[in-house]
Every structure is written in structure tokens, then in C-alpha cells.
Chain A
Amino acid sequence: MTAGSDGLSPFKAMKLRRHPALEFWYDAKARAILLQSAFVVAFVALAIFAFIDVRANMEARGIATDLSFLGKVAGFDINQSLIPYSAASTYGRAFVVGLLNTLLVAAVSLALATVLGFIVGFARLSKNWIVGQTAMAYVEAIRNVPLLLQLLFWYNAVLKPLPSPKQSLPLPFGMFLNNRGLFAPAPVFEAGAVWLVAALCVSLLAAVAMRLTPKRIKFATPSRAFFSGVAAALLLVLPLAAFVGAGTPVAFVQPELKGFNFVGGVRLLPEFVALVLGLSLYTAAFIAEIVRAGVEAVPRGQREAAAAIGLDRADADRLVIAPQAMRLIVPLLTSQYLNLIKNSSLAVFIGYPDLVQVFAGTVLNQTGAAVQVIFITMAVYLAISLVASLAMNLYGRRFALVER
């Protein structure tokens, strides 16, 4: 029988002639598994081939292909480091310095962007016309100017025109502001400070314990006031008492002008401040829109229903509107957080020593290990993003619909 002779299309004819040994091919699932494994094998083989080949070619040109450069002496300095670092440290340590600087700037900007974003988001929902319009103007202005321009603005137009160290602006609490940054007194802990630390620990544990106490007990009418009293005592009075009792064991080192710059105290680099300002103001505008959309997406009927069962406005917001809005807000928030983390690499343009500037910039250049450095950098950003989304997903679960 030739295909098509009986009036069937060749395709159908073939189908009629399935060979029993090829039976699995007609099972969609088996076929998928087979094709996908074939693809994976081919891909891995190609990757291995490419890897071996690239390595041979790089080695032939005298370019290092391994990670041993991480153990070599870096020879350059970095002006902000959360761990001890000097020019005599290794490239590996420079990598950690850059990574921590990225995490620091991302964490601070994230927190500020969230707080500001929620405030502006609520302001946009406000019934007060001026408040609402101001919030809208902010959102529109910020969202429509490229972030890089905003960073350059903060850095070049706002921070650099500040006075030189000799003409620093004095601020409250012994702080100073000049074109080298913000200088503040640094706390130094004396021996008695253990008591303070201990008191803080106790307070913290108590806070956790109270948080875990079932609502049933906490909000029973007679214990409500009692609980607040205990909470206040534990969280405020205890550490304060310890502080005074141990003879105020914390001293402050004042920043002092010596030669070219201030020494002593803690210092925020202008590059750090510009980056935090730029990133958090920018992201806050997007977060504000997300918050507004999330709240507006909760059907009106929900508020009416809450009122119908006798909840006052605050309780309705807290118990009915917020959980439903958050269910929408959290996933969108996650993507803003991820954007912020990635945007932090714009640091290179204003000289803040983040991972990209230190590692993918200086280290790459001084070692020539371009391939290794770029892959490590990409892997790190991927890992940070994955951890951030995982954390947000876990947090988002609290607002998931629970079927009962």
C-alpha cells in the first residue's frame, strides 16, 4: 500500500503504519521527555565542547582560565568597605567588599523606597485634593526621567556644590555636611555596654514572645491594656534603665577636621548618599502606583460589607482592605525590588564602589580574567534576585487565599 493510494494523506497513512517498537513515540508525554532530554544532552555537550575549546584558546594566548586570580594581591584601594580591606588584600576580598557595598546600598534604598512608596501611594488615594495632586506630580515627574540622569543630578548638582571640608555645614548632634560626605559622631562601647546589649536582647525576645501570643489572649478586653503596658516597659524602659544603670557606657567620637578631611566618627560617602537618594526616590514612585492600584482593586463592596458587620474604618482597613490589597501588591513589589537591585549597578557612573565597579570594573581590568569575572558577577546578581524573590514569595503567602 503506498501512501495516499487509498485517499488518505501521506501523513495519515504513516500514522496507520505505526511500528510497535516506536509505539512510545505516539505518547505525547514520552515524546516530550525524549525530545527534552535529547535537547539537554546536546546543549550540555555543546557547552562542554565550547568550554574546553575556549579554555584551550585562552591558554594558548596566555590568558588565565581558572579562579586562582582571586587569591592574588589586589594592589588597589577602595574608599568604602564594611570589612577590613587594604591594597595588600586579595582580589577575592575586593570581590566581597564590592558585594557587601552592593547589598548595603540595595538594602538601605529598598527600605526607604518602600516606606516612601507606601506614603506616596496612600497620599494619592487621599481625598484631600492638594495631597493627592502633589503625590501625583511626584510620581509623574520621577517616573518620566531616566534614573541615570537622576543619579547624576543628585551627585553633580546637589552633593558636589556642598562646601569644602573647611567650610562644612554644622548639623545637629555634632554632625557635619560637606562635599566629602556626611560625618557623624561614632558610638564607642565601653565595658558596661554588655548590660545594654543584654537588656536589648531580653527586650527583643520578649517582643517575639508577645508577637507569638495567640490573638485570643492578647486582645481579650481586660488584657489589652496590660499587654501594652508590659510591651512598653520591656521595649523602652528596660534598655533605658540598663543604659543609665551601667553608667551610660556609650561614648561618642566626634569627627574632627584634620588636614584635608574630617577624621574619626562615621561617614557617609556622597556617592552612597546620591545612589540611595536616586534609587529610593525613583523606585518609590513605582511602588506608590502599585500601592494605589492594589488598594483600588479591592472591590467597593468589601468596605461596605466591613461596615455592615460593624467594623470601624481603621479596623476595616486593617482587617479587610489591607490583606486583599497586599495580595496584589506583593508580587508587583517583588519586581520593583529586583529592579532596584539591578539598578544599583549604575553606581559606576558616580564612582560608588559596588560589585560592578570594583569587581567587573577594576578587578576584571587588572587581572584580564574577563570571562570568569563576568560569569561570577552575573551569577551573583542572579542569586541575589532569586533570594529576594523567594523571600517575597514567602512573605506573600501570608496574604494568599486560604480555603477553609
Chain B
Amino acid sequence: MFKMNVVRTLFALGLMIGCAQGAQASLLDQVQKRGFLICGSNPGVPGFGLPDDKGGWTGFDVDFCRAVAAAIFNDPTKVKFIALSAKDRFTALQSGEVDLLSRNTTWTLSRETGQGFLFAGISYYDGQGFLVRKKLNLSSALELSGASICVQQGTTTELNLADFFRGNNMKYEPVNFANAEEAVRAYEGGRCDAYTTDASGLYVERQRLTDPEDSVVLPEIISKEPLGPAVRQGDDEWFNLVKWTLYALVNAEELGVNAKNVDEKAKSDRPEVRRLLGFEGNFGEGLGLGADWAYRIVKHVGNYGEIFDRNLGEGSPLKIKRGINALWTKGGLQYAPPIR
């Protein structure tokens, strides 16, 4: 693991030598020339990002990468996925090993100003919670004083955890692991009284326990975790492309355009729909893409709501409610700037 980091860092060094600004081809050009997108995704959080035995990937964050590939190549399969744990993801993005990081990563100030990234938006509004064993009979996270808590290192999770206990004047023992899998295994083995991560991750990990009924999620949400795709700073064209891919997904849902009706909607008279699908104006041009960029996205991967549903919502085993991730028109927070 340390060796991997050393390799990544040296790789980053190598890239940074001689890649004077402007001298290099834009990332979009590079991706087009290469013929596929390289996307950093989750090593194993079902629903968000998960490789199957055949190397095929599924998940909410995975589908976002497919949407970007669809916009560029008109082919959602032109993506190479790289599994990145929380700890390895930033070095991988910094070093240029991936074009795009799409794996439940929280948007924070220091990740933009200190690490040199830009977040393209918020694809999932989340918050941190606790998973505990039922037999402890706890009803609140405030009863966790003195507990041992398993947590994944290199995350906002371990920082929020420290804040929460410090702020409430409680003691605890953090047990830090490099991967979610190890942290959960330690929780299951009894090393910890609680496991903490983003609430979305808690639903997922609970399902994966040998006996999910033995554990419960405590009611408190102790932080804001706005999760979204991130890119390196320094290439505005690429940043815009990724950002507007997300907005196209959300706008499509708002306009009622989905994978099934997208061809029919081509006949729509609504100006917003015509602009989205490229029949009026050429908005793809400014992104370095064709006029039908958003049409390709919706045609191949569906709109935001469809992606949510099939990976996390009713159409999935997780059955996560849309909650604050509903459209703003339906009482949620998902809101995209207009395409015009």
C-alpha cells in the first residue's frame, strides 16, 4: 500500500515535470485520442460503485462516468474504471492516473484549494451516521461516550467523528482502517462498538453484514457530505464538460425526458426540451462536443432519476428514498442551472 503511494507520487512528479501550462493538449483531446475515459470509482460499495466478477462495473457513481463517456463517444462502454479506496483517490487524481474521480467523495474547501481539485457539482446529498449493534440498546449517538469506533482513514468521516466527540465533550477510541471492507470486518468482529461513514454507505454496509438485523443505524446525522465528481484544476473545458453532464442529467429528469421517451421527445415543442436535445441552438459546441451531447447521455444512461432509481432507489435492493436528493420541484435539493 505504501509502495503504491510511492509509485503514484513518483508518477505525479513525472507528469508535473515538463508539463508546462498550455503546452499540453486539452484533456478532452487526450481522451478522444485515447478512445476511452479513465474514471476513478469505488472499489466495492454496491449501489455506488462495484466491479462484478467479469470486470463489469455498476453503480450510481459508475453510471455518471458512463454518462460522460456517452456524451463524448456516443458509447457508454468507453470507460476504463480504476478502483480507488478513500486513501488512494486523491493521489490518483492529482497524478493524472484518472481523468475523473466519481466515487462518493465529499466536496470540501480544502480539497479544492489545497489539493488542486474542482468539484463539478453535487450528485448525492449525504451526511454521516453511525451503525451500532442492536443489543447495545442505544437510541442516540450521544450515548456513544467511551465507545470504540471503526472508521476509514483519509476521509472527512474521521474528521467529523473527532469534531462530534470533541464538540459534545465525549471520549472515544478511533480504530482506523485503509479500506471500508477492513473497517466493517473489524466492526463485525467486535473490535468496535460502532462503524461510522456516510449514511448512504451505512445502508450498503449494513446489507452486507452476515446478519443485518443485528445492527441499526442511529438517528443522528452529524455532518454535511455533499458528494460529487471531481476533476483536476487547470482545464476549464474539461471541468465544464463534467459539470454540464451532471446538469444535463438533472435537467432531463426535470423536463421529463428519459431513456425510453427521448426519441419521442425529439418531436416536443417545448423550447427547453429542444435545447437540451440539441434541436435548437448548439450548446454542445461550447463543451467541445456535438449538438446531441445530452441526447446521447439520456439515450444511453437515462436521466438523474433513472440512475438513482436503478442503483439506489426502488429498482435496487437498497431502496434508498430520494429524500433531499429529490428534484427541487419535489421538495428536494437537486437543482440544475438551465441549458441556454
Contacts and interface: CB of A to CB of B under 8 A. Distances in A.
Interface of A: 50, 53-54, 56-58, 60-64, 75-79, 86-88, 156, 160-161, 164, 179-180, 258-261, 263, 270-271, 345, 348-351, 353, 356-357, 360-362, 364-368, 370-371, 374, 377-378
Contact of B5 (A54, A87, A349, A374): A374
**Top 7 closest A-B pairs, CB basis?**
A365-B154, A368-B115, A61-B116, A160-B189, A87-B162, A57-B16, A259-B146
Interface stretch (B43-51, B177-185, B244-252, B284-292): B177-185
A371 B87 contact: no
Interface string B147-188: 110000111001101110110000011111110001101100
B232 interface: yes
Nearest to B111: A368
Interface stretch (B18-26, B52-60, B255-263): B18-26
A60 B185 CA distance: 41
Contacts of A378: 6
B91 interface: yes
A365 B153 contact: yes
A362 B158 contact: yes
The size class of the interface chain B forms with chain A is 35 or more
A349 B178 contact: yes
A156 B115 contact: no
Given A62-B114, A156-B185, A260-B146, A179 B190 contact: yes
Contact of B17 (A53, A164, A271, A377): A53
Contacts of A57: 16-17, 19-21
A264 to B, nearest CB: 12
Interface stretch (B7-15, B28-36, B214-222, B322-330): B7-15
A64 B182 CA distance: 31
A75 B159 contact: yes
B153 A362 contact: yes
22 contacts: A60-B21, A62-B114, A78-B174, A156-B189, A161-B189, A260-B146, A260-B147, A261-B148, A348-B178, A349-B178, A361-B87, A362-B154, A364-B5, A364-B91, A365-B86, A366-B110, A366-B159, A368-B116, A370-B9, A370-B90, A370-B91, A378-B6
Contacts, number: 159
A370 B159 contact: no
Contact of A370 (B12, B161, B232): B12
Nearest to A61: B116
Contacts of A350: 182
A258 B161 CA distance: 21
A337 to B, nearest CB: 19
A368 B176 contact: no
A263 B185 CA distance: 25
A39 B148 CA distance: 55
Contacts of A61: 94, 116, 232-234
A261 B173 contact: yes
Contacts of A88: 166
Nearest to B86: A365
Contact of B176 (A60, A63, A362): A362
Interface string B90-126: 1100100000000000000011111110000000000
Contact of A179 (B111, B145, B155, B191): B191
Contacts of B110: 366, 368
A366 B252 CA distance: 36
A280 B41 CA distance: 38
B59 to A, nearest CB: 22
Interface string B177-208: 11000110110011101000000000000000
A348 B154 contact: no
A179 to B, nearest CB: 5
A58 B16 contact: yes
B134 to A, nearest CB: 14
Contact of B114 (A50, A78, A368): A368
Contacts of B5: 360, 364, 370, 374
Nearest to B112: A62
A351 B165 CA distance: 21
A50 B17 contact: yes
Contacts of A160: 186, 189-191
B37 to A, nearest CB: 21
Please indicate which of the listed interface residues B5, B176, B177 has the most CB atoms of chain A within 10 Å of its own CB: B176
B4 to A, nearest CB: 10
A385 to B, nearest CB: 15
Contacts of B94: 61, 63, 368, 370
A77, A180, A258, A348 interface centre (most CB from chain B within 10 Å): A77
B277 to A, nearest CB: 35
B158 A261 contact: no
A364 B89 CA distance: 11
A226 B40 CA distance: 75
A271 B175 CA distance: 9
B9 to A, nearest CB: 4
B90 A351 contact: no
Nearest to A259: B146
Nearest to A75: B159
B9 A371 contact: yes
Given A261-B146, A368-B111, A370-B91, A348 B2 contact: yes
Contacts of B148: 180, 260-261
A227 to B, nearest CB: 50
B294 to A, nearest CB: 29
A60 to B, nearest CB: 6
A367 B114 contact: yes
Contacts of A353: 176
A180 B153 contact: no
Contacts of B177: 351
